[in-house]
Amino acid sequence: MTPDWKPRWGANLPDYIPLVSAVCVTADRREFVRAAIDCYLAQDYPHKELVVVDDGKDRVADLCRGIPGCTYFPLKGEKQKIGVKRNIGARVAKGQIICHWDDDDWSAPGRIRDQVERMLASDKAVSGYHSMLFWDGAQAFRYKGIDDYSVGSALCYCKEFWEQYKFVAEDHRRWEDNVFVQHARNDNQIVCVDAGQFMVARIHAGNTAPKKPYESPRQWEVVDRSELPEAFVATEAICR
């Protein structure tokens, strides 16, 4: 029996372009959000929208105003867990596919297209990047994950799959994205590759999940700055 969330792409895959919702959950990271919006606008994937879920004190509604296809969703009350905010963003999203668009990550113009094409080709409900470049403002690193694992910020998935396995609130033993990825692994519904030049994640004091590359040399490799995409290096100054 085919699960309810199994992708139904249609018969003619080359002509089918599903709507992708890039979901950005944020709080008090104005300069990062500005850069994330620029990355969204630069995407070469033609059928997309941006959903910004904001529970910070410094609201970024002004940055979202006038952005084509952008929905700004402010939250009231106390700050929410990341898993809760991801669920809100997914619920608000109109797209058949949801792509995590974390405010402190940089994405190359072809990122959405790359992940969607991999989902279409593999007929999987989830695509991601198991390995990725990171930058702490002075040093570049490469995170090396296992083949069927995805970094949480690099997840791209069918909304139908999310409806079956919504994100949990973190308990600091199992982050919400790891639980989601495990569901995809259990169902054999995830396809992952090295991000290559498609993404760079930033290491900074405000990371939700602290990054300590020097303490885990088996997973983290120090790399030369020259391995960072030129476009990322050119725009990085605005975020510092």
pLDDT confidence band for 8 (50 / 70 / 90): very low
Q: Where are the domains of the chain?
A: 13-239
**pLDDT greater than 50 at residue 1:** no
Euclidean distance between CA atoms 47 and 50, whole angstroms: 11
Q: What is the DSSP letter of 71?
A: E
123: left (phi over 0), alpha (psi -120 to 50) or beta: left
Q: How many angstroms separate the CA atoms of 43 and 47, rounded?
A: 10
Residue 194 confidence class, pLDDT cut points 50, 70, 90: very high
* Residue 141, pLDDT above cutoff 70: yes
Query: Architecture of 13-239 per CATH?
Result: Alpha-Beta Complex (3.90)
- The residue-averaged pLDDT of 143-162 equals 96
Please state, in angstroms and rounded to a whole number, the distance separating the CA atoms of residues 32 and 57.
Answer: 15
Q: What is the pTM assigned to this prediction?
A: 0.90
- Quick: pLDDT tens for 167-193: 987 655 457 899 999 999 999 999 999
Which pLDDT value is given to residue 240? 54
223 token code pair: 């790399």
DSSP assignment, residue 217?
A: T
